[in-house]
Structure 1
Amino acid sequence: MPGPSPAALPIPAHERRFTPWRQSFRGGTREDRTMREVEVSLPPRLADLDLATPSALGAEMDAALRAISRLDDTHGEHLAPLATMLLRAESVASSKIERVEASTDDYARALHGIKANASAMSMVASTQALADLIDSVGPNTDAHPPGTAGRSTGTGRALTLGAILSAHRILMADDPEERAYAGRLRDMQNWIGGSDHSPRGALYVPPPPETVPAHLDDLLAYAGRTDVPVLTQAALTHAQFESIHPFTDGNGRIGRALINTILRRRGITSRVVVPLASALVARRDDYFDALGAYRAGAAAPIIRAFTHASTLAAEESAATATRLAELPDTWLDAARRPRNGSAARRILDTLLETPVFTTDEIATNVGGPPSSVYAAIDRLHTSGVLRPLTQRTRNQVWGAAALLDELDDLGVRIGARARAERS
């Protein structure tokens, strides 16, 4: 069989070998119970890999990086709430790739500690894991040249196995089936697809558990390079991590968190997260096909998919930034321009930074007589600025309706463009 064409950007294909296998827990069909060996895939070493990027793909990557940089460099005073929104958008979309589904309101409730929806709580854990992993590679901000204001001036700290394990521990800590393995590399053979009881008929079987540490050492060496095009590095780091599949669960979400981690470490972003998972989830089959092509020895599909997703996500996120900048005036108009210093005005002034809160919290934050704050909340609810997120009679949880709706709409817009603009 001929290998990948030059346009596919050939890399070494995964090797395959048979290894012994036996069920740890009896179950399934006779074929499951009597299976004695499995064909595993062994990813190639990446640490010293050099790829000559085709000029057309290189131009696409440059355009994507410019779009990301523009997003990260602009929108001044609204960048903090934008950064928070994009972090949450990426976590929600990444979870949806794994068929973890919850409404925006459920997610907002879970962010506030209400545990009624397991999927929403999983999304919150994913958000914290992503934030921690990205923060682990941020710059040392103790000393910066004048005028940099804490911004990255180059490559950040190295990505470490400890940071990956810590992120996985956060992600899986409250999962009733997986918490025992949270923050631990797998010590068993896993597989994707096929039977639940054995690797029989699996779509993909990762390398044996005893090889995982060496594969991760190689991956971290590759992720630490600074002479590789950034989107190539992000795409291949992610694809290789998915091939290694080092955890019993949560590999996809941690693997996708590595994409923005690479962007942060290489200084492409300093404040925002690019919600490219919204584009990937819209074309889930294409994304999985690109991972399959990577394992077969073609790097271009996964690099192109990430480049395209990054461009769409950055452009639509810039539109969201513009909408965020308009929200304070929209809220003021909806509430009929409450006077400066009033409880309603003080609540509106905090709403971009704190879009979800309890009645007691906002009363403490804005100060003044509680009766005035409660009356202001009622006024903002009546005007459509706030909506209740629980059915409590005491200490209700409230959300800024337009901001929560924008979180939903951002994912919808990115997904719609991803489906329409097929590469």
Structure 2
Amino acid sequence: MEFEQTGRADSGQTSPAEVDPAWPAHVPEVRPWRQRSRGGTAADRMLSEVVAMRPPLIGHRDVRLSPELVGAMEACVLEIAALDHSHGAELAALETLLLRTESVASSKIEHIDASVDDFARALHGIKSNPSATSMAASTAALAALIRSVDEGGDIETAMVQTAHLALMVDDPHEHAYAGRFRDMQNWIGGSDHSPRNAVYVPPPPGTVDEYMADLVVFANRTDLPVLAQAAVVHAQFESVHPFTDGNGRIGRALINTVLRRRGATRRVVVPLASALVARRDDYFDVLGAYREGRIEPIIRSFTAASTVAARESRVTAARIAELQSTWQQKVGSRRGSAASRLLDGLIAAPIFSASEAEEAIGGATSSVYAGIERLHEAGVIRPLTNRTRNQVWGAADLLDELDDLAARIAAAAR
């Protein structure tokens, strides 16, 4: 695949006073072009050159920011810390929920959409909905990247490729390129068959390895404000566009990876993509500003998105903290019963099959099935498939909270 159609035109004109002198604009480079496969119009086939954009190398570049923005970032980091330290007993479940919320929203930026139940089924390996399957792959990719730095290790290009493999390995069109940096020219917008009228043409394929090596140098620094670092890592990654497809989702996964590596988060994921998808045009505008040599717009945008996402996620944490007692009241089961043991593990594993429930809690099969039915009758769980055997169940309140959290973040961002 030689193209990726995501995004929109870079925004407006840049006044010289707005350009950070420490951050050069991307530089155009005229390259010869030859169409590799026939298709499109005569103009596509006759195109002989393309103007690719060369981002600056950033590994050791200074980041200069206004005092006002630095203050906003510091306030945001405090909001994230409050989220990360709240409701310790529920944080494992909260991390899972926020990971899924972020993955769903990141997929929606790429116009990939599915219902929560479809997404839950896909997470459980039921591939009936291609969009939901793509969202589940996005969750796996984000988890792979974040967990790669959980012990404080550096971000490595190999980890980025592993995450891309998780994202694209089952994609019917892109699986051959899963986990590999591109060896062809790609572009954003314009024709499907050539870079004619493209909105943005990333640097030539022969430069990708150098750019990615430089990017991880910047990503592993410790002398930068963490939110600024995360935003610039994302913007630079999107400009390099190192993969044939899936760049947006991997690039947004890098944001939380930087936050985790720097210790801004320890146990949760900040679902800022829910705020970005609510203002999709603005998101592409700030990426365009970055390419013009202005880094503050994207840092400001990500700071605002992260603040909103962390604040609303704390509301979700409080709701999760109340679920256990609410469920017990609904079910009314005695301690030690199959229904009670199922409830004990429901927050940590809100999507499960009957066979998994039996393995998790033990006991007679008939008791496990009776416990599941009791939770179903009480409205605590709902079936996610039409199966009569080995049904997949989901914790209704938690799945609904995934939808509600994303909606609240989007509303606040607007």
- d(CA) in 2 for partners of 1:52, 1:260: 22
Which residue is 2:304 aligned to?
308
Which residue is 2:6 aligned to?
none
Partner SS for 2:186:
coil
Which residue is 2:164 aligned to?
168
Pairing partner for 2:90 from 74, 78, 83? 78
- d(CA) in 2 for partners of 1:99, 1:6: 32
Kindly indicate whether residue 399 of structure 2 is the aligned counterpart of residue 411 of structure 1: no
- d(CA) in 2 for partners of 1:2, 1:291: 13
- d(CA) in 2 for partners of 1:284, 1:28: 29
Which residue is 2:80 aligned to?
68
Kindly indicate whether residue 241 of structure 2 is the aligned counterpart of residue 252 of structure 1: no
Pairing of 1:265-344 with structure 2 (within 5 A)? 265-335=261-331, 337-344=332-339
Kindly indicate whether residue 8 of structure 2 is the aligned counterpart of residue 13 of structure 1: no
Question: Once the two structures are superposed, what CA deviation does each residue of 1:373-420 show, in whole Å capped at 9, x if it has no partner?
Answer: 22222222121111000010111111100010001111000001001x
Does the Cα contact within 8 Å between 1:10 and 1:299 map onto a contact in 2? Answer: no
1:367 CA displacement: 2.0
Which residue is 2:59 aligned to?
47
Does the Cα contact within 8 Å between 2:22 and 2:61 map onto a contact in 1? Answer: no
Pairing of 1:2-401 with structure 2 (within 5 A)? 3-6=15-18, 11-139=23-151, 156-335=152-331, 337-401=332-396
Between the two proteins, what is the percent identity of the paired residues? Answer: 61
- d(CA) in 2 for partners of 1:233, 1:269: 14
Question: Once the two structures are superposed, what CA deviation does each residue of 1:100-120 show, in whole Å capped at 9, x if it has no partner?
Answer: 111111111111111111111
> What letter corresponds to residue 161 of structure 2 in structure 1?
L
> What letter corresponds to residue 371 of structure 1 in structure 2?
S
Structure 2: runs of 5+ lacking an equivalent: 1-12
What TM-score does the superposition give when structure 1 sets the normalisation length? 0.93
Structure 1: runs of 5+ lacking an equivalent: 140-155
1:5 CA displacement: 2.7
1:369 CA displacement: 2.1
Does the Cα contact within 8 Å between 1:7 and 1:300 map onto a contact in 2? Answer: no
> What letter corresponds to residue 333 of structure 1 in structure 2?
Q
- d(CA) in 1 for partners of 2:124, 2:68: 46
- d(CA) in 2 for partners of 1:244, 1:87: 25
Does the Cα contact within 8 Å between 2:274 and 2:406 map onto a contact in 1? Answer: yes
> What letter corresponds to residue 54 of structure 1 in structure 2?
S
Does the Cα contact within 8 Å between 2:215 and 2:236 map onto a contact in 1? Answer: yes
What TM-score does the superposition give when structure 2 sets the normalisation length? 0.95
- d(CA) in 2 for partners of 1:374, 1:17: 65
Indicate the RMSD between aligned Cα atoms, in angstroms. 1.3
Partner SS for 2:53:
strand
Question: Once the two structures are superposed, what CA deviation does each residue of 1:54-78 show, in whole Å capped at 9, x if it has no partner?
Answer: 1110111001100111111221111
> What letter corresponds to residue 306 of structure 1 in structure 2?
F
CA 1:351–1:194: 2 relative to 1, 3 Å: same
Does the Cα contact within 8 Å between 2:14 and 2:292 map onto a contact in 1? Answer: no
1:10 CA displacement: 6.6
- d(CA) in 2 for partners of 1:164, 1:63: 29
> What letter corresponds to residue 326 of structure 1 in structure 2?
E
- d(CA) in 1 for partners of 2:41, 2:359: 60
Partner SS for 1:199:
coil
Partner SS for 1:5:
helix
